[in-house]
């Protein structure tokens, strides 16, 4: 069916009550629920068909501060729309809901989910969309959320509210990956799109009429929640930018012409990704996304004089957005280095754009040391003001943009993985530019140590920030004393992905600083690798620490930055690998005890 429906056809389709949108079902509220009570903002993640409509429904729920469209259930290497649309990435189109527990409860969020947001008796389809990416699922972030969800499903099945049994899956949330910018606020921005008119706007109307006590007329938007600081940190292997959602104007093909869903089942997309980065041997050139933006926002340059789009004309360029403490960037770096060395004589230029996530990454001495440590020989632009990031409208670390010899962006890839496909795009663009006798394709270039590929099949713990601006699952008694000194305590028991501070700490927006020794951080995790970004509060003053796993030294499971007894020293601001399990991965309790004061702790990552 053509996307541009005629008016007559649209009216005819809308007259069929069963088409697209599922009818609302009046159901009782959950018998077991969290009581409404003041507290820090909470997060819920659900999936029920196309995320455009589910996001549009929850944007009208009282007490909601932010609703993001995204992907949950798979790993970061394929957390993009093209890959998810293939139906075999393991992801579901999902929404992340950040809410005020004093105004709305988790049970009320599920009440909306089961009543008006989707049909929970359809597992791998909703309306016209079919495939596992459209499955009905609840991704819980705590044992209490799991209990409420499972109890509500059992309650609704018992009441016989639906003609068939509920098939909604209840799974633990591993990671939430924020969807591309053009998917955010899609219903609000495209109210006349035929797919929205037929499938999604009726859900919003059903919400207003079926659950009026929970409905608010003014929707919360992604851009507004970002400006107001209410948006939760996206749980993505490829991290979202701290820049405003409406900044930048690059990637014009995506921003101005987003992929629109048909009112019928969408065609299956290639598991190789999609048109943005076609595989070698495909017919026709890859799509053009727009010209390479200006680079004059760089605050400095390493390994090169300042570059411009004009000076790069005639070269094939890979623009690599990275930050030196980002574990995903470190795992990608061996491949980027290998591309540069293998193809530089054939006309390839790698342009590293170092866009800092943390304040210490703005220090040119720190970046220069990282460039030396990782043997980066290609040009690096320092993007301390995020000006180049915004010019590309970028949102992720790492991100690769592929630019042809005419200065046009011909494709991109966000996150880890798909290195073979990226290399094929490089070879394709070099061939278009007239390169002859290209060297044979690279063999595997995977790194070792901290740069080794993640064991994604066994990662059950998300990136977790220590600073209060993006911290989640923090369970030390009492709330953070923001920007003030406080002595914290570690509870006797932690559940998976809960963490706590012990000792005198001052927690700021992006890090926590230990005021006096000893001080501890505990985290119950499940992953092969555990990393922690650390740095000395006073340059040149090292801080000793000791690591234990389930109360014992790590021995053979020690990471690169500790010995077998768990001893290590923080000497500079960077990512420290503290655990690398050699045997089967299991859930364990990690504790790091600092033997000296004056350490800054930023974020945990896992692999």
Within 10 angstroms of residue 100's Cβ, the number of other Cβ atoms is: 17
Distance between CA atoms of residues 554 and 32, nearest Å: 41
Q: Which residues contact 391 (CB under 8 A, 6 or more apart)?
A: 248, 249, 250, 293, 294, 297
Mean pLDDT across 339-355:
95
Distance between CA atoms of residues 137 and 171, nearest Å: 7
What is the per-residue pLDDT for 180? 86
- Positive or negative torsion for Cα 188, 194, 198, 199: negative
Count Cα neighbours of 355 within 13 Å in the Cβ-side half-sphere. 29
What is the per-residue pLDDT for 240? 31
Q: Which residues contact 566 (CB under 8 A, 6 or more apart)?
A: 546, 547, 548, 553, 554, 558
Contact criterion met (CB below 8 Å) for 371 and 302: yes
Q: Distance between terminal CA atoms of the chain?
A: 43
Q: What are phi and psi of 343, to 5 degrees?
A: -120, 5
515, containing H or E segment: none
Higher pLDDT, 365 or 129: 365
112, containing H or E segment: helix 106-112
Distance between CA atoms of residues 546 and 594, nearest Å: 7
pLDDT(5) > 80:
no
Q: Which residues contact 504 (CB under 8 A, 6 or more apart)?
A: 485, 486, 487, 488, 514, 515, 516, 519
Q: What are phi and psi of 65, to 5 degrees?
A: -100, -25
Q: Which residues contact 290 (CB under 8 A, 6 or more apart)?
A: 250, 251, 252, 253, 408, 409
Mean pLDDT across 228-239:
41
pLDDT(273) > 70:
no
Higher pLDDT, 455 or 335: 335
DSSP 114-154: IIII--TT-SSEETTEESGGG-EEEEESSHHHHHHHHHHHH
* Domains with residue ranges and CATH for the chain: 7-234 (3.30.1060.10), 286-451 (3.40.30.10), 456-606 (2.60.120.260)
Q: What are phi and psi of 360, to 5 degrees?
A: -65, -20
pLDDT in tens, 48-87: 999 999 999 999 999 999 999 999 999 888 898 878 887 8
What is the per-residue pLDDT for 51? 95
Higher pLDDT, 193 or 563: 563
Token pair 């068909």: residue: 49
pLDDT(283) > 60:
no
pLDDT(6) > 80:
no
580, containing H or E segment: strand 574-580
pLDDT in tens, 475-512: 999 889 999 999 999 999 999 999 999 999 999 999 99
- Bridge-based pairing of strands 136-140 and 169-172 is parallel
pLDDT(111) > 90:
yes
pLDDT(89) > 80:
yes
For the record, the structure tokens of 188 come out as 């609000």
Judge if pTM exceeds 0.85: no
Active-site residue set: 50
Q: What are phi and psi of 331, to 5 degrees?
A: -75, -20
pLDDT in tens, 423-467: 999 999 999 999 988 888 886 655 556 656 777 788 888 889 999
What is the per-residue pLDDT for 256? 29
């Amino acid at each position: 069916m053509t996307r541009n429906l005629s008016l007559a056809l649209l009216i005819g389709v809308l007259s069929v009550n069963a088409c697209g949108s599922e009818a609302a079902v009046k159901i009782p509220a959950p018998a077991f629920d969290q009581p409404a009570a003041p507290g820090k903002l909470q997060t819920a993640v659900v999936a029920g068909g196309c995320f455009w409509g589910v996001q549009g429904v929850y944007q009208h729920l009282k007490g909601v501060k932010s609703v993001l469209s995204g992907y949950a259930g798979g790993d970061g290497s394929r957390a993009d729309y093209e890959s998810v649309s293939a139906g075999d990435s393991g992801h579901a189109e999902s929404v992340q809901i950040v809410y005020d527990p004093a105004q709305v409860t988790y049970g009320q969020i599920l009440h909306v989910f089961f009543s008006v947001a989707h049909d929970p008796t359809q597992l791998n389809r909703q309306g016209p969309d079919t495939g596992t990416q459209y499955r009905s699922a609840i991704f819980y972030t705590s044992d209490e959320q799991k209990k409420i969800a499972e109890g509500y499903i059992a309650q609704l099945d018992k009441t016989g509210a639906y003609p068939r049994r509920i098939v909604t899956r209840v799974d633990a949330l591993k990671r939430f990956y924020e969807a591309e910018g053009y998917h955010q606020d899609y219903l609000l921005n495209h109210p006349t799109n035929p797919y929205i008119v037929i499938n999604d706007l009726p859900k919003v109307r059903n919400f207003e009429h079926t659950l009026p006590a929970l409905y608010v007329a003014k929707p919360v938007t992604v851009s507004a929640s970002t400006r107001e600081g209410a948006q939760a940190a996206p749980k993505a292997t490829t991290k979202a930018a701290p820049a405003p959602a409406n900044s930048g104007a690059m990637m014009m093909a995506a921003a101005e012409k987003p992929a629109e869903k048909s009112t019928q089942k969408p065609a299956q997309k290639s598991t190789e990704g999609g048109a943005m980065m076609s595989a070698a041997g495909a017919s026709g050139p890859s799509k053009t996304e727009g010209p390479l933006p200006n680079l004059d926002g760089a605050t400095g340059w390493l390994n090169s004089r300042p570059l411009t789009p004009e000076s790069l004309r005639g070269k094939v360029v890979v623009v690599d957005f990275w930050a030196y403490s980002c574990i995903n960037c470190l795992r990608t770096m061996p491949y980027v280095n290998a591309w540069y060395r293998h193809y530089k004589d054939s006309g390839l230029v790698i342009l590293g754009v170092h866009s800092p996530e943390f304040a210490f990454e703005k220090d040119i001495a720190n970046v220069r040391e990282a460039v030396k440590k990782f043997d980066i020989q290609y040009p690096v632009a320092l993007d301390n003001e995020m000006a180049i990031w915004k010019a590309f409208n970028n949102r992720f670390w790492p991100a690769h943009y592929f630019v042809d010899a005419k200065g046009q962006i011909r494709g991109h890839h966000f996150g880890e993985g798909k290195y073979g496909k990226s290399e094929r795009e490089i070879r394709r663009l070099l061939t278009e530019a007239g390169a002859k006798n290209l060297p044979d394709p690279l063999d595997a270039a995977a790194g070792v140590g901290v740069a080794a590929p993640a064991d994604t099949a066994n990662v059950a713990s998300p990136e977790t920030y220590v600073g209060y601006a993006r911290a989640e699952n923090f369970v030390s008694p009492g709330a953070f004393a923001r920007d003030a000194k406080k002595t914290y305590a570690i509870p006797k028991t932690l559940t998976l992905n809960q963490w706590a501070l012990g000792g005198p700490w001052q927690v700021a927006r992006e890090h926590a600083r230990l005021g006096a020794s000893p001080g501890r951080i505990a985290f119950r995790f499940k992953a092969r690798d555990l990393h922690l970004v650390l740095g000395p509060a006073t340059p040149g003053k090292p801080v000793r620490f000791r690591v234990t796993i389930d109360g014992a030294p790590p021995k053979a499971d020690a990471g690169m930055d500790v010995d077998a007894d768990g001893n290590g020293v923080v000497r500079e601001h960077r990512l420290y690998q503290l655990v690398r399990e050699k045997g089967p991965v299991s859930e364990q309790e990690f504790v790091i005890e600092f033997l000296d004061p004056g350490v800054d702790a930023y974020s945990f990552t896992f692999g």
